[in-house]
A and B are shown apart, each in its own frame.
Chain A
Amino acid sequence: MNMQQAIKMTAAESALVDAYTAQIGDLPGDGAVLSLRDTLVHELRTAGLPTRRVEAWHYTDLRTLLRSVPAADSTAFSERVEAIVPGASVLSVRNGQADLKTLPEGVTARSYSESLLDGSAAAGLAVLGADDAIGRINGGLVRGGLEIAVAEGAELKAPVEIQVVQSHGQAHTRFPVSFGAGAKATMIERHLSTSAEPSFVSSVSDVTLAEGADVIWIILQQQGPADTHLGQIRFDLGKDAKLHLFVINAGGKLVRQELHGKASGEGADLTLRGINLLGGDSHTDVTFTLSHDVPHTTSSEIIRNVVFDRAKGVFQGKILVAKDAQKTDAKMACNTLLLSDDADLSAKPELEIFADDVQCGHGATVADIDHTQLFYLLSRGIPEKKARAMLVNAFVAEIVEELEDDEALVEALEGVISAWLEKHA
């Protein structure tokens, strides 16, 4: 590193590189992993964080938005938090420390640091492409996490909560999770903060579904008001595999959640549902790509954004249909309630279709609260503030109710939503 480059780095870029330098010799990994880490951090140092000139980051200029990164604090400690759904098994990573006391039947897990140490993690550490800033930061600095396998044919009775708790400082976690053929499970990837002090969190989940696996995966992001959250989930759907991916953003100051998937087996089906509850000065970006690689795969995506105050939301959704992926059926919708004059949402749906016999569509709407509905509630004696909250809640509750097979889960998620609305609306 020469002086000139050091001067050009932003405070945040320097802090990330410094965090790496300070932990050299302490970050887990075999030779292959350590050399990969070096490469990734070198790329970060030379290329910097992505700016608006990088297309994938056009609406989230990370270099400008990320003003600072708190220093890593190895002494930080957090208690385990109660599971969001009563009866769920909790596998937690708290301030980077894995805790797998309660493993349900049919599930095996080990700390991800073991996979780093024995080198089995090396292949998965590669970035998805030149613009994969999250993969790069995480791959360079990852320390904690869990490698989880759900056995073939296992049907989990209760949800498994992957709980990532951070009090302050930095956390870089990774979760390779495989579901065996015919496995059936509900996983809740939950990120939360236990203090108002700033945290910087990067987390990558790498999920594979074997033939016929049927999985509900919920990403529940409840970081604190000063936190930066860079999340990514990669998923690969095998033959007849079914994934219901549900993302709820209800926290954080600067958030980017990427969802990158492949429907690689015939009959694979993805249902993506997203709820973004945005307020204050926060910036929240959900970026989704799905490639339909083989014939007869289906997907449906619905994103609902509720934007208050001066918050800014971004949804980028890109569906690729490969040349051979005939009979693909994909529908994407992004609906937004803008609830203040300064609220802002950018939606960028994209379809790239190389096959000729497919059904694909997308749509985006932006609206204020429906005045006829509001008057109806008022005319029954419901005060305006409460009536508005009911209508906002209704706008997002509709898609939570799709999970009706698990009442406790629906109740828990509705609780998160109404608690957030009560605080912000």
Chain B
Amino acid sequence: MLEIKNLHARIAEDGTEIIRGLNLTVKAGEVAAIMGPNGSGKSTLSYVLSGREDYEVTEGDILYNGESILELDAAERAAKGLFLAFQYPVEIPGVATMQFLKVAMNEQRKYRGEDELSTPEFMRRVKEAAAELKIAPEMLRRPLNVGFSGGEKKRAEILQMALLEPKLCVLDETDSGLDIDALKVVADGVNALRSPDRAVVVITHYQRLLDYIVPDTVHVLYRGQVVKSGDKTLAHELEANGYADIIGAAA
């Protein structure tokens, strides 16, 4: 489903190279964890995947379902089924949460040539998904992410993911700032979306989230490259021994 080949990417503004020859393959149905120390390029990878213009790809390719997505903008990638759950969801005063959800769902449907959702159908879907994630209706009446607590913001991200039904989900440090109860709710939300035709990339600094979202593969990112890959036991190794051994071997 996702194939990243010898990817090089840099910050557009100052040319700093962050991703330096990264290779990664994630199959449909797979949950892949990307782990690594601070500054290894984890968040940059998530932005480059989703098409943020602050980053430039200088070499290599990103194939999604066999096709390069480098020429597509962020909105087109999203409409094709790519979803990024932000580490820091953005507050947008003046944009009502419900209006945002409706526009996003319908714009994606329009892109794919599907009919727009009727208002009752839209309301039904939001209500159901919100209840699953224990999101209070009051929260949905506020402007987008404004005044949401850290946990509420992360749940709102998963709500969007559930409603937009993406094929490739990228979760960037979704566990940061969550207490254990909120973490469980979020993990349940992600697990509910696991399916044979959907892939999930979980970017995380800690093993903790992977106790709840159990990965099929684990990849260690260091200095913009995948330096080691393995199964879920690799995450436990990292938890026990830290990154030093792997980094030392890679350096």
Chain A residues proximal to chain B, CB less than 8 Å: 371-373, 375-384, 386-387, 390-391, 393-398, 401
Please state if B54 and A383 are interface contacts (CB–CB under 8 Å). Answer: no
Please state if B93 and A394 are interface contacts (CB–CB under 8 Å). Answer: yes
| A-B pairs with lowest CB-CB distance, top 4 | A394-B94, A381-B78, A378-B74, A381-B108
How distant is A325 from chain B, measured CB to nearest CB, in Å? 33
Please state if B107 and A375 are interface contacts (CB–CB under 8 Å). Answer: no
- Supply 13 A–B pairs (Cβ within 8 Å), ascending by A: A375-B53, A375-B74, A376-B89, A378-B74, A379-B84, A380-B100, A380-B104, A381-B111, A382-B103, A384-B75, A390-B103, A391-B95, A394-B94
Contacts of A376 in B (CB 8 A): 86, 89-90, 92
Contacts of A391 in B (CB 8 A): 92, 95
Please state if B90 and A373 are interface contacts (CB–CB under 8 Å). Answer: yes
Please state if A380 and B90 are interface contacts (CB–CB under 8 Å). Answer: no
How distant is A418 from chain B, measured CB to nearest CB, in Å? 11
Please state if A378 and B93 are interface contacts (CB–CB under 8 Å). Answer: no
- The answer, yes or no, to whether B52 is at the interface (CB within 8 Å) is yes
Residue of A nearest to B53 (CB): A375
Please state if B73 and A384 are interface contacts (CB–CB under 8 Å). Answer: yes
Chain B residues proximal to chain A, CB less than 8 Å: 50-54, 73-75, 78-79, 83-84, 86, 89-90, 92-95, 100, 103-104, 107-108, 111, 143, 160, 164
Q: Give the one of B50, B74, B84, B103 with max A CB within 10 A.
A: B74
Please state if B107 and A381 are interface contacts (CB–CB under 8 Å). Answer: yes
Please state if A394 and B74 are interface contacts (CB–CB under 8 Å). Answer: no
Task: Assess A382 versus B75: contact at CB under 8 Å? Given A371-B54, A390-B103.
Answer: yes
Q: How far is the CA of A396 from the CA of B94 in the complex (A)?
A: 8
Q: How far is the CA of A27 from the CA of B51 in the complex (A)?
A: 66
15 A-B pairs besides A376-B86, A377-B100 with CB distance below 8 A are A372-B90, A375-B54, A376-B89, A379-B51, A379-B75, A379-B84, A381-B75, A381-B79, A381-B104, A381-B111, A382-B104, A390-B100, A391-B92, A395-B94, A396-B94
Q: How far is the CA of A373 from the CA of B106 in the complex (A)?
A: 19
Contact of B107 among A383, A393, A398, A401 (CB under 8 A): A383
Please state if A379 and B74 are interface contacts (CB–CB under 8 Å). Answer: yes
How distant is A372 from chain B, measured CB to nearest CB, in Å? 5
Q: How far is the CA of A307 from the CA of B198 in the complex (A)?
A: 44
How distant is A411 from chain B, measured CB to nearest CB, in Å? 13
Q: Give the one of B51, B73, B83, B107 with max A CB within 10 A.
A: B107
Contacts of A383 in B (CB 8 A): 75, 107, 111
How distant is B57 from chain A, measured CB to nearest CB, in Å? 16
Contacts of B52 in A (CB 8 A): 375, 379
How distant is B155 from chain A, measured CB to nearest CB, in Å? 16
Q: Give the one of B73, B90, B108, B111 with max A CB within 10 A.
A: B90
Q: How far is the CA of A391 from the CA of B103 in the complex (A)?
A: 13
Q: How far is the CA of A395 from the CA of B50 in the complex (A)?
A: 26
Contacts of A381 in B (CB 8 A): 75, 78-79, 104, 107-108, 111, 164
Residue of B nearest to A385 (CB): B75
Please state if B94 and A373 are interface contacts (CB–CB under 8 Å). Answer: no
Contacts of B51 in A (CB 8 A): 378-379
